[in-house]
């Protein structure tokens, strides 16, 4: 079992004891770590002070050799005409210091002292590994006069104090040029090593090292011992802490929880108080519980009164209002909703409606309820029932503590009379407009057009077809016929046609239209690319009319492209807005900004005379509006245009 789950399922006293134990353990561990760090630092400081004492001694010996012993030896040897003019045991600083250290180590064996170089006179003093790296470091940092710290050398942790050996002027007699060195020195060490040094050069380093493994082990043992004592104390504290917490906290809380359970089961009245037996925090909690129980009892009575008042208010609402569960059953209804249920209105929710939703493609309130449950969002809008009446329906979700929909408020309003009034008003306005338009067309076009066609026919009968004038008359007749077609298009635009809607796959509708024109488009150098989202819900639309819209937009896109080009078609579902969007974009010449707001006006066209009537976009606009949608257009002159058709998904 995981520690977090174990703590979660443990009793309050066990949790408290475990937390206290964890705190004590953390304090012991932190104290041991701090003590270890302090003792280690203290040991380093003590070791450093001891190393400095050795350096002070060696510096004193070196100063004595350089200033007194070596000059005196040179003087004595030159006066006695000795065979050897260089005695290493009395004149070599390194030899003398190493000899003194060997004597000291008999009494103080825990340290070591060495003078090493990467080019020593004596090969025994050759620097290697760590000391060789440190010589390079001193040369790379001329201002560095000392280095101290712990390093691993030969598998051991040693504390080092290192100082660079800089060449002095008096050192050049033996370390300068070989020809200037004492012959005895050359005879003893040869002429190849330790020469050609200059004043200030770092010839090597002095190193004092002290083993640090034993010191660290001792410090670790001290820290571990302290931590072990702390942990042992923690275990001894567990039992008394558990008992004390049980008596002071757990048992009083059990009495409170028993009271809560009795109230929850109905075995104890909500307003009954619990005796307060202490003046500590538990007593304060008990007093708070009694106060809360009293307020809850008062609130319960108020809630009952408010519930009755609310039910009266709900019943007083003239429009149907209900509270439905997720299975489409009704929890609360007002009188109006109950009356609609009695007359079996298809706009209400219920088991019969829910069953109907799975037997027919016709949308019903149960379908909208399922959408609310699926999306968790409010759904509202107009809906036409199978009884031919129009309803405004709204379903608002109510969430539980986990954010899931637990119930839905259903509100209905019968919009049939309002819709009929709007339809009659629109029809009246349309008839008035069409009447004016028809009168204008008859006066301005039909009479002159009839006269022109009549005279053209008369003239064509009396003219030889081979003469040029016959061709001119044919052109006149052609354009007159074109005007006649415009009049026919106008009449088609004005004529009312019945809309037949059914559930359709909009992607299939688009694919069918693209299949009809794709070969001709590609033949003319226009490529069609489709990106259709696969999970678009089926729409309740008039498929034939929507095909007319798509065909108009595709043909306009092709005519806007000069030479080779492409048309992009895409579809997508926007669940947050319950909308389906279809985009048709081309990379043609685009639409100028100054005419962008006129393109949906009847008879407005930018095409040449005889190529269009200016009614295609107007008809398309009317069809989309009839489906409760809209058309949006974006244009970038010289780079193309994009038409977006937005249709409601429900």
Q: Up-side HSE of residue 9: CA atoms within 13 Å toward CB?
A: 5
CA separation for the pair 610, 577 (Å, rounded): 42
CA separation for the pair 506, 282 (Å, rounded): 68
436 phi/psi in degrees, rounded to 5: -65, -40
Query: Is residue 483 scored above 80 in pLDDT?
Result: no
User: If 0-12 CB within 10 Å is exposed, 13-18 middle and 19+ buried, where does residue 458 land?
Assistant: exposed
Inter-residue contact 615 to 491 (CB < 8 Å): no
Query: Is residue 433 scored above 70 in pLDDT?
Result: no
| Averaged pLDDT, 460-477 | 76
For the ranges 37-41, 228-232, 520-524, the maximum mean pLDDT occurs at 520-524
| pLDDT of 505 | 92
The SS3 call for residue 577 is: coil
Counting residues of the chain whose pLDDT is more than 70, the rounded percentage is 79
Which of residues 238 and 171 earns the better pLDDT score? 171
Which of residues 496 and 35 earns the better pLDDT score? 35
| pLDDT of 4 | 54
| Averaged pLDDT, 635-642 | 89
Confidence of residue 643 (pLDDT cuts 50, 70, 90): very high
| pLDDT of 358 | 47
Q: pTM score, two decimals?
A: 0.34
End-to-end CA distance of the chain: 50
Closest residue by Cα to residue 557 from 590, 530, 534, 582: 590
Confidence of residue 440 (pLDDT cuts 50, 70, 90): low
CA 424, 429, 434, 436 dihedral sign is positive
Which of residues 130 and 242 earns the better pLDDT score? 130
| pLDDT of 461 | 77
Confidence of residue 357 (pLDDT cuts 50, 70, 90): very low
123 phi/psi in degrees, rounded to 5: -60, -20
| Averaged pLDDT, 284-313 | 73
| pLDDT of 427 | 43
* Per-position DSSP letters for 309-359, written without gaps between them: HHHHHHHH-SS-EEEEETTS-EEEE-HHHHHHHHTT-TTS-SHHHHHHHTT
CA separation for the pair 210, 206 (Å, rounded): 14
Confidence of residue 508 (pLDDT cuts 50, 70, 90): very high
Which of residues 551 and 251 earns the better pLDDT score? 551
Query: Is residue 558 scored above 50 in pLDDT?
Result: yes
> What's the pLDDT tens digit per position in 516-553?
888 888 988 999 999 999 989 999 998 888 888 898 89
| pLDDT of 436 | 54
> What's the pLDDT tens digit per position in 252-279?
777 777 777 777 776 666 666 777 766 6
User: If 0-12 CB within 10 Å is exposed, 13-18 middle and 19+ buried, where does residue 183 land?
Assistant: exposed
| pLDDT of 356 | 47
Question: In whole angstroms, how far apart are CA 431 and each of 62, 136, 417, 425, 603?
Answer: 124, 104, 21, 10, 18
Confidence of residue 581 (pLDDT cuts 50, 70, 90): very high
| pLDDT of 19 | 76
Q: At what angle do helices 616-626 and 543-559 cross, to 10 degrees?
A: 150
Confidence of residue 582 (pLDDT cuts 50, 70, 90): very high
């Amino acid at each position: 079992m995981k520690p977090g789950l174990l703590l979660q399922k443990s009793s309050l006293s066990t949790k408290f004891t475990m937390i206290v134990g964890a705190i004590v353990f953390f304090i012991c561990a932190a104290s041991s770590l701090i003590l270890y760090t302090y003792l280690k630092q203290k040991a380093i400081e003590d070791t450093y002070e001891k190393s400095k004492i050795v350096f002070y001694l060696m510096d004193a010996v070196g100063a004595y050799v350089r200033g007194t012993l070596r000059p005196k030896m040179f003087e004595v040897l030159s006066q006695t005409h000795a065979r050897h003019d260089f005695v290493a045991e009395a004149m070599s600083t390194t030899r003398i210091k190493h000899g003194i250290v060997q004597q000291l180590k008999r009494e103080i064996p825990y340290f070591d002292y060495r003078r090493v170089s990467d080019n020593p006179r004596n090969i025994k003093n050759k620097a290697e590994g760590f000391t060789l790296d440190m010589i390079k470091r001193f040369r790379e940092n001329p201002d560095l006069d000392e280095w101290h710290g712990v390093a691993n050398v030969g598998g051991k942790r040693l504390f080092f104090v290192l100082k660079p050996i800089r060449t002095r002027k008096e050192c050049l007699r033996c370390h300068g040029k070989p020809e200037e060195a004492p012959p005895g020195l050359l005879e003893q060490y040869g002429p190849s090593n330790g020469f050609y040094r200059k004043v200030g050069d770092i010839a090597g380093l002095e190193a004092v090292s002290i083993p640090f493994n034993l010191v660290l082990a001792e410090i670790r043992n001290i820290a571990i011992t302290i931590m072990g004592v702390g942990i042992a104390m923690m275990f001894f504290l567990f039992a008394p802490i558990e008992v004390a917490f049980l008596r002071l906290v757990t048992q009083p809380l059990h009495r409170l929880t028993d009271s809560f359970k009795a109230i929850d089961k109905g075995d104890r009245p909500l307003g009954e108080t619990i005796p307060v037996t202490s003046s500590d925090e538990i007593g304060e909690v008990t007093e708070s519980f009694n106060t809360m129980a009293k307020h809850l009892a008062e609130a319960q009575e108020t809630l009952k009164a408010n519930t009755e008042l609310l039910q009266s208010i709900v019943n007083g609402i003239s429009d149907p209002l209900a509270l439905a569960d997720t299975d489409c059953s009704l929890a609360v209804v007002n009188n109006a909703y109950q009356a609609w249920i009695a007359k079996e209105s298809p706009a209400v929710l219920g088991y019969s409606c829910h069953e109907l939703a799975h037997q027919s493609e016709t949308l019903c309130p149960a379908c909208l309820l399922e959408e609310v449950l699926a999306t968790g969002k409010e759904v509202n809008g107009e809906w036409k029932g199978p009884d031919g009446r129009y309803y405004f329906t709204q379903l608002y979700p109510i969430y539980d503590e986990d954010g899931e929909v637990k119930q839905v408020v259903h509100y209905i309003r019968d919009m049939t009379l309002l819709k009929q009034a709007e339809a009659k008003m629109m029809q009246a306005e349309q008839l008035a407009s069409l009447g004016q338009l028809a009168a204008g067309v008859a006066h301005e076009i039909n009479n002159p057009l009839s006269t022109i066609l009549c005279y053209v026919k008369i003239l064509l009968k009396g003219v030889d077809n081979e003469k040029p004038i016959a061709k001119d008359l044919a052109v006149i007749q052609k354009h007159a016929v074109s005007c006649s077609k415009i009049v026919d298009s106008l009449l088609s635009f004005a004529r009312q046609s019945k809309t037949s809607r059914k559930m359709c796959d909009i992607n299939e509708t688009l694919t069918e239209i693209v299949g009809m024109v794709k070969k001709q488009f590609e033949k003319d150098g226009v490529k069609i690319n489709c990106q259709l989202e696969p999970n678009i819900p089926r729409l309740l639309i008039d498929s034939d009319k929507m095909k007319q819209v798509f065909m108009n937009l595709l043909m306009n896109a092709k005519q806007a492209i000069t030479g080779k080009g492409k048309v992009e078609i895409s579809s997508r579902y926007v669940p947050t807005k319950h909308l389906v969007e279809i985009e048709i974009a081309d990379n043609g010449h685009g639409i100028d900004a100054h005419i962008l707001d006129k393109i949906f006006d009847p008879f407005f066209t930018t095409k040449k005379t005889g190529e269009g009537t200016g009614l295609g976009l107007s008809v398309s606009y009317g069809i989309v509006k009839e489906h409760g949608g809209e058309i949006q257009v974006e244009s970038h002159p010289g780079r193309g245009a994009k038409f977006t058709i937005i249709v409601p998904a429900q």
